[in-house]
Structure 1
Amino acid sequence: MRNSKEYSARGVLNWLRKLPKNTKIINTLIVLIIILFSFIFISIIGIQSFQYLKLNLVGQNLTLAAGRTDGESYILSKAIAEVVRDYYPNIKIDVKETAGGLENIRGLESGKFDLATVQADVRANSSVSTVAALYKDVFQLVARENSGICHFFDIKDKKIAIIENSGELLSFQKVAKYYGLQANEDFNLILTKDNNEANKMFHEQQVDAVFRVRTIGNKEIFKLVKNSNGKLVKIEQAKAMKINNLTFESVKIPKGAYQSSNPAVPNTKNFPSVGVERLLLTNKNISNILINKITGILEEHHQEISEKIADRNEYIKPLVASITRPKNISGTDIPPLHPGTLNFYQQKKPSFLQEYADYIELIWTFIFFVASSLWALLSWLQRIHKNEADEYIDIAIVLMSNEKKELNQKLNELENNLDNIDKQWVKTILKPKLDHLKNKDDIELKQDILDIVFEKAATALDKDSISQESFRTFNQAYKIAREAIERQKTREKQEISATYIEKVVTILIHQHQGNILPPELNGILKEVAEKLIQGEISQESFQTFLQTYKTTRDAFKC
């Protein structure tokens, strides 16, 4: 049983030592890795192909929330939807009329809408992404000529009409807050269902002013000025407002934008106000490919979009030229670009590989040459390191041998094969000890040689003469060899103890005559005690001997 365990341990050591040579295992691992990466590659291609086929063959129905039907964003959205349909017949964008920006953003966040036009100052949650900046909206406060309102802060104690649940309402509240005014305390806020209701109240002098966020030249504002004796009110200090409202911009409305004379509206050059971008937003879960295609239409087909706008809305056509990628998103409340949109803009630029193809080819050739040279050098060094480590492992395996004949045979083979270890150390230290071991199977000498070999291997590791991996393999061999030597020590101690026990039993059998204690019995006890002190027998073996000694002694006393 003991020999079978030792041969088994030796087999494990041989397998560990030859692991790098087990090319069949390594080749199997390589094949498995290739199959794994092939599966991943095919999966990626399959997913991309599915998305492409879905986009080009399967009908895609999207809803776009765009505000009132008479608003710029609704009219522009209808034109965009038609051009998208012209280029991608399977993509149908259904433009929906809504109350305004608040309804749009809430519907987009909840998944009710897929796309929405929203003022840039209306905050959205993390489920929303940006597709494009459509045009610039301008804050426009229209007051009756006789209202006494000349500046925004003059609205105190006045009645202001604004559409409920709209982005305009939020924008107005931000401006009022800047001027230190609060609704229903400093002024009366009249909420209306739509533009028509607000316009009617203004015309009938039920309110003093209406607030709109519209493009310059808006038809509704033009009617208020012309038909209801309205005038524009200055909204000043836009740059100061931008400190807490990062999407705000300073805007100047040209003199006479709504009425050229008698009087001009506005009546001064560079009339101050506040502007915000009108954005096209989407839910971030909408297909990247789908949004990529829509972004392409917005960027590359301005002329077609303009032609889709009816002549009665001629003033909206110039807005098409403003459709672009949002700028300065970082640090504002504007949602990040949708991945599909970002991908479109990145595709428009020449890739790094395309722009520097010649240089990259030269660099790659150089890298390949250097890498090949380094790989060859590394392989050569690894072979040297492995050969040296193998010889340390060989010494450990030899020291496990128990039989004298087998040990001497392996020692002779070992001395002839120590070609990679420091020759001076082999000649002056190792070889004399191995020669002594041939003459006498000394367990302590085996242990001494094994410890020296471990020290040399550790030094070789420190000097990078062997690799970490090779040292770990040697360390396993060292542990197994050390255990084998310890077992051999235990057996020898047990054999020494058994020899003395046999002597005591022989005295008991052959000299048991009367009650006279043989003098040699105490001599044997003394010898065994000395062996215990010298460590040649174990405490356990000594106790076993002592029991035999006491039994024999008691037998003579009887």
Structure 2
Amino acid sequence: MTHSPPRSQRSPVPPIWRSNLNPNQLGLAALSLVSLGLFIGLTLNLFERFKVHRLILAAGDSAGESYILSKAIETVVERHYPNIDLTVQETGGTSENLKLLETDRVQLATAQADIPTGPTARLIADLYEDKFQLLVRRGSGIKHFTDLAGKRLALQQKGGQYKSFLKVAQHYGLRETDFRFVGQSDQDADEAFLWNRADAVFRVRALGNPTIATLIQTGNILIPIEQAAAMQIKYPAFRSTIIPQGTYRGDPAIPAVDLATVGVERTLLARETVDPEVVRALSSVLFERRQEIAEAIPPNQSEIDPLLANIHQPETDTGMSPPLHPGAQAYYDRDKPSFIQEYADYVGLILTVILLMGSWVWEGKRWIERQQKNRADAFSDQVIQLMNQARNLENRSHLEDIRQKLIGILTEAVDALNEDRISEESFQSFRVVWQIALDLVRERRDALVQEPK
């Protein structure tokens, strides 16, 4: 009696490629990654929502309109946005504000629009219009700007106000050395003018400024600053405007007639690094809560209230001003249709085409899968036929032929799998049938070996 060799010594079977990736494990890993991503996103969102943003706003002199208005804005912002901690800081004016903003010692600043900003400054809004106001002592003989040459001028030699004055002087062909400046601060300059130590005072202030009103009531007069439109050619931020008759007193009217002068916007700026959502919140307060801001202004400073009506979106198409902050831009664009709304027809067409293409791709994929399954079924049918033949064979040489045919079919199936002509799933189904057939051939051969000759 001849015994069959152990399995380890039987004819080798061609290696079969199998994937080490379990679809269930892949799905679980993908779900875990998505869940982790959602968790991280929600955590970051909650962190940003409850994060306290501490901002300092440089706003000029405490007696100035921009400081008073900024304090009222601070009150309303913190009332509606507890996560914004806004602090208003008194400064020496526009030039100092811009330096502080550029060095990140403050994050927000008010500034005259005619003073150049640094590269990190971004616009939020125009708050109101400042006007160049030139007040002279009655009887000084000063009737025009050029008459200031050689006179004592109450104006500190620094800050945005001083730079604006020199721009006007340059237009009229005058130089810094043509004037005798008095005062180390606005307060010193005002006192010098009141005590007859100066012949004129120059200020860039909103109409109705209480300090200018006080200086006028002592018998001094305002004179015009003409040719603003011509100055605008060189200084685009300048605007031609007037100081209306009766601005500071109605009877007798001060000024007695409308006076031509130069106007510039008082702007609110932010560093480019300030969170856009914070700037958007500030913008919403400026435009949607003006009444609350007015109520936050002290009653004894009610002359500031009318300035709130002048808050508006800045004009940035001149190319001479800093760009809008993204947060402010988002607020101004809030009512504009979204991209999808604006191009709904095109989006709909694109989606339709994508769906049609997706349907064709899906149908193509199903056709390929059917073809792969049909090929695998053909291999299985061949194996089943050989298996049926093997059941009735009495000759070992014929069984060996069938075994060789099975190995040949397996080799073809492996080649088809490698060439993607059958799928892994179909191959595994065929592999089960093939293994059953091979085991049957072995069992039949063993049975014939054990039979007596």
Do these two structures clear the TM 0.5 threshold for a shared fold by scoring above it? yes
User: Equivalent residues in 2 for 1:71-90 (5 A)?
Assistant: 71-90=64-83
In 2: Cα distance, 1:30 partner to 1:331 partner: 54
- Provide closer, same or farther for how the CA distance between residues 94 and 145 of structure 1 changes in structure 2, counting only shifts above 3 A: same
User: Equivalent residues in 2 for 1:36-435 (5 A)?
Assistant: 46-55=43-52, 60-184=53-177, 186-190=178-182, 192-227=183-218, 229-262=219-252, 264-269=253-258, 271-333=259-321, 335-354=322-341, 359=345, 362-363=348-349, 365-372=351-358, 375=361
- RMSD of aligned residue pairs (Cα, Å): 3.6
Per-residue deviation, 1:177:
1.3
TM-score (norm 2): 0.70
In 2: Cα distance, 1:44 partner to 1:247 partner: 44
In 2: Cα distance, 1:92 partner to 1:369 partner: 50
Look up the SS of the partner of 1:163 in the other structure: coil
**What is the CA deviation profile of residues 498-547 of structure 1, one whole-angstrom value per residue up to 9, with x for unaligned ones?**
xxxxxxxxxxxxxxxxxxxxxxxxxxxxxxxxxxxxxxxxxxxxxxxxxx
In 1: Cα distance, 2:367 partner to 2:165 partner: 76
- Provide closer, same or farther for how the CA distance between residues 23 and 275 of structure 1 changes in structure 2, counting only shifts above 3 A: farther
8 Å CA contact 1:160–1:187 kept in 2: the answer is yes
In 2: Cα distance, 1:87 partner to 1:314 partner: 23
8 Å CA contact 2:156–2:181 kept in 1: the answer is no
In 2: Cα distance, 1:153 partner to 1:382 partner: 91
Structure with a larger share of its residues in helix: 1
8 Å CA contact 1:329–1:336 kept in 2: the answer is no
Look up the equivalent residue of 2:68 and give its one-letter code. Answer: I
Look up the equivalent residue of 2:203 and give its one-letter code. Answer: R
User: Equivalent residues in 2 for 1:21-32 (5 A)?
Assistant: none
TM-score (norm 1): 0.57
Q: Which residue of 2 aligns with 1:402?
A: none
Per-residue deviation, 1:49:
3.3
In 1: Cα distance, 2:368 partner to 2:116 partner: 61
**What is the CA deviation profile of residues 179-229 of structure 1, one whole-angstrom value per residue up to 9, with x for unaligned ones?**
111112x22223x233322121112221111110111121111111111x2
**What is the CA deviation profile of residues 220-244 of structure 1, one whole-angstrom value per residue up to 9, with x for unaligned ones?**
11111111x2211211111221122
In 1: Cα distance, 2:248 partner to 2:26 partner: 77
Per-residue deviation, 1:141:
1.1
In 2: Cα distance, 1:146 partner to 1:22 partner: 102
Q: Which runs of 5+ in 1 are unaligned?
A: 1-10, 16-20, 384-558
8 Å CA contact 1:183–1:189 kept in 2: the answer is no
In 2: Cα distance, 1:240 partner to 1:31 partner: 73
- Provide closer, same or farther for how the CA distance between residues 130 and 365 of structure 1 changes in structure 2, counting only shifts above 3 A: closer
Look up the SS of the partner of 1:149 in the other structure: coil
- Provide closer, same or farther for how the CA distance between residues 381 and 124 of structure 1 changes in structure 2, counting only shifts above 3 A: farther
In 2: Cα distance, 1:32 partner to 1:151 partner: 81
**What is the CA deviation profile of residues 232-257 of structure 1, one whole-angstrom value per residue up to 9, with x for unaligned ones?**
12111112211221211111221121
Moved more, 158-167 or 275-284: 158-167
Of the two, which has the highest radius of gyration? Answer: 1
Look up the equivalent residue of 1:120 and give its one-letter code. Answer: A
In 1: Cα distance, 2:165 partner to 2:89 partner: 25
In 2: Cα distance, 1:330 partner to 1:297 partner: 26
Per-residue deviation, 1:73:
0.6
8 Å CA contact 1:108–1:114 kept in 2: the answer is yes
Per-residue deviation, 1:140:
0.8
Indicate the structure whose relative CO is greater, using CA pairs within 8 Å and at least 6 residues apart: 2
Look up the equivalent residue of 2:314 and give its one-letter code. Answer: P
- Provide closer, same or farther for how the CA distance between residues 38 and 244 of structure 1 changes in structure 2, counting only shifts above 3 A: farther
Q: How many residues are aligned here?
A: 364
Per-residue deviation, 1:343:
2.2
8 Å CA contact 1:101–1:118 kept in 2: the answer is yes
Look up the SS of the partner of 2:333 in the other structure: helix
Q: Which residue of 2 aligns with 1:437?
A: none
Look up the SS of the partner of 2:221 in the other structure: strand
In 2: Cα distance, 1:165 partner to 1:117 partner: 17
Per-residue deviation, 1:265:
2.8
